[in-house]
């Protein structure tokens, strides 16, 4: 039964990730990204990594996808014409597909992932994460939050159209 649920979450994740790549509408692509992240969170729940699943839903699905949607709606990309692919894009795409194929081939020939050594006596609970987050790592967390705020304000300022100014093309 667990294998069937895993395959369902894996198919959901893979299908929605492909929809992100091949979808022409930006809002539909952002919603497919949200669905893909939900599938990954489901796999985390199957692995009993509940904290990672909740953080993935809260941070990425809740904040990042919502920010994508707000930016897309703010910029209104309906009038943008698609540019033709350049040669460097084709070369980079071919290189990425070759690396992906090499990774799949390596996985199939070896038969399993190489596992990292387990750390003995490591009992990490949510309380331990919270204590570390608000004591040892408080400055980096606050710095990242401040940088995200600056980035959000920068996007708002750059996308605002002022009266009397023409668009630069």
Q: What is 1-79's CATH number? A: 1.20.120.1200
6: enclosing H helix or E strand: helix 2-22
pLDDT in tens, 8-26: 999 999 999 999 888 888 7
Question: Which pLDDT does position 33 carry in this prediction?
Answer: 87
Question: Which pLDDT does position 121 carry in this prediction?
Answer: 47
Select from 132, 141, 148 the least CA-distant residue to 63: 148
Whether the pLDDT of residue 124 is over 70: the answer is: no
pTM: 0.54
Report the SS3 class of residue 5. helix
Whether the pLDDT of residue 110 is over 80: the answer is: no
Average pLDDT over the chain, rounded to whole? 78
Q: Give me the helices (H) in 47-164, please.
A: 50-55, 65-75, 87-110, 126-134, 138-159
pLDDT in tens, 60-96: 888 877 877 777 777 766 655 656 667 787 888 888 8
Select from 15, 9, 67, 68 the least CA-distant residue to 39: 9
């Amino acid at each position: 039964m667990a294998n069937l649920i895993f395959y369902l979450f894996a198919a959901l994740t893979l299908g929605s990730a492909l929809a992100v790549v091949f979808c022409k509408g930006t809002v539909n692509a952002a919603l497919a990204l949200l669905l893909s992240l939900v599938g990954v969170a489901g796999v985390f729940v199957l692995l009993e990594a509940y904290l990672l699943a909740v953080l993935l839903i809260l941070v990425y699905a809740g904040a990042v996808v919502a920010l994508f949607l707000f930016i897309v709606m703010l910029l209104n990309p309906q009038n943008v014409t698609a540019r033709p692919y350049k040669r460097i894009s084709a070369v980079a795409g071919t290189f990425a597909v070759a690396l992906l194929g090499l990774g799949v081939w390596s996985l199939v020939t070896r038969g399993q992932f190489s596992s990292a050594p387990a750390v003995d006596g490591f009992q990490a609970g949510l309380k331990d994460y919270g204590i570390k987050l608000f004591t040892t790592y408080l400055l980096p967390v606050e710095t990242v939050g401040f940088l995200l705020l600056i980035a959000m304000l920068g996007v708002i300022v750059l996308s605002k159209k002022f009266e009397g100014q023409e668009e630069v093309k």
